[in-house]
C-alpha cells in the first residue's frame, strides 16, 4: 500500500489543487494532504486560518465524491528552522512513503532525510493560482469560478473577501 504526502498552503484551495489531488490519488492508496504554514492567518499572503483551509479541502473533496477513506487532511505549522521541518511533518502525519512536491526547498529537505520525492503533477498555473485569486478578491473582480463550490461557501461563511481586503493594508 502506498501512502503519499502532498503539502501546500492552499490560500485558498482551488481547482488546480483539485486536479493535482485527483492525479496523485490515482497513483497511491492513501493521500495525506498537509496544510503548510497552518499557524498563519490574517495576512495578505495567508488570509485563511488552518482550520478554515481544512474545512475548504474537506468540503471540496466531499463534493467531488472522492471516497473518504482515500485521504487524510493534516494542518502542519511551520518550524523556525528548516532542519527540523521534516521531523515535524513526520511527527504530525500518519506514516507515508513518498512526497509529491514542486517546491525546491521541500524537495531538498525530504531527499536529504532519505524520503522518496516525486514531481508534483502540473496544472494550469496561469489559470489557477492562489496569488491570482487573492488579487481578484482585493480588486473586487470575480474569483468564484477558480475554486470548488465548497471552497467558495467556506470563504463566504468566514467573510473571507472582506477579511482579505481589511488586512491587506498592513503588508
Phi, psi dihedrals of residue 65, rounded to the nearest 5°: 55, 35
Q: Which of residues 59-88 bind its own copies (CB under 8 A)?
A: 62, 68-69, 72-75, 77, 79-84, 86-88
Asked whether 27 and 170 are in contact (CB, 8 A), the reply is: no
Question: Please, how many CA atoms are within 13 Å of residue 70, restricted to the half-sphere of its CB?
Answer: 17
DSSP annotation of 95 reads P
167 forms part of the interface with its own copies (CB under 8 A): yes
Binding letters toward its own copies, positions 132-161, x by CB under 8 A: -------------------------xx---
Scanning 14-22, 49-57, 120-128, 137-145 for contacts with its own copies by CB under 8 A, the matching segment is 49-57
Binding letters toward its own copies, positions 85-124, x by CB under 8 A: -xxx-xxxxxx-------xxx-xxx--x-x----------
Please tell me the distance from the alpha carbon of residue 81 to that of residue 50, in angstroms, as a whole number.
20
Amino acid at each position: 500500500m502506498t501512502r503519499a504526502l502532498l503539502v501546500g498552503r492552499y490560500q485558498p484551495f482551488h481547482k488546480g489543487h483539485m486536479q493535482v489531488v485527483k492525479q496523485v490519488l490515482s497513483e497511491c492508496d492513501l493521500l495525506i494532504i498537509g496544510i503548510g504554514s497552518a499557524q498563519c492567518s490574517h495576512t495578505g499572503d495567508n488570509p485563511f486560518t488552518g482550520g478554515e483551509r481544512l474545512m475548504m479541502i474537506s468540503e471540496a473533496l466531499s463534493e467531488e465524491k472522492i471516497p473518504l477513506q482515500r485521504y487524510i487532511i493534516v494542518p502542519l505549522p511551520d518550524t523556525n528552522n528548516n532542519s527540523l521541518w521534516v521531523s515535524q511533518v513526520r511527527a504530525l502525519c500518519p506514516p507515508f512513503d513518498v512526497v509529491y512536491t514542486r517546491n525546491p526547498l521541500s524537495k531538498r529537505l525530504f531527499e536529504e532525510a532519505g524520503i522518496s520525492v516525486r514531481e508534483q503533477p502540473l496544472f494550469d498555473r496561469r489559470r489557477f493560482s492562489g496569488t491570482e485569486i487573492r488579487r481578484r478578491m482585493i480588486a473586487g473582480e470575480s474569483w468564484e469560478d477558480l475554486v470548488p463550490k465548497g471552497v467558495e461557501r467556506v470563504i463566504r461563511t468566514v467573510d473571507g473577501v472582506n477579511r482579505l481586503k481589511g488586512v491587506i493594508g498592513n503588508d
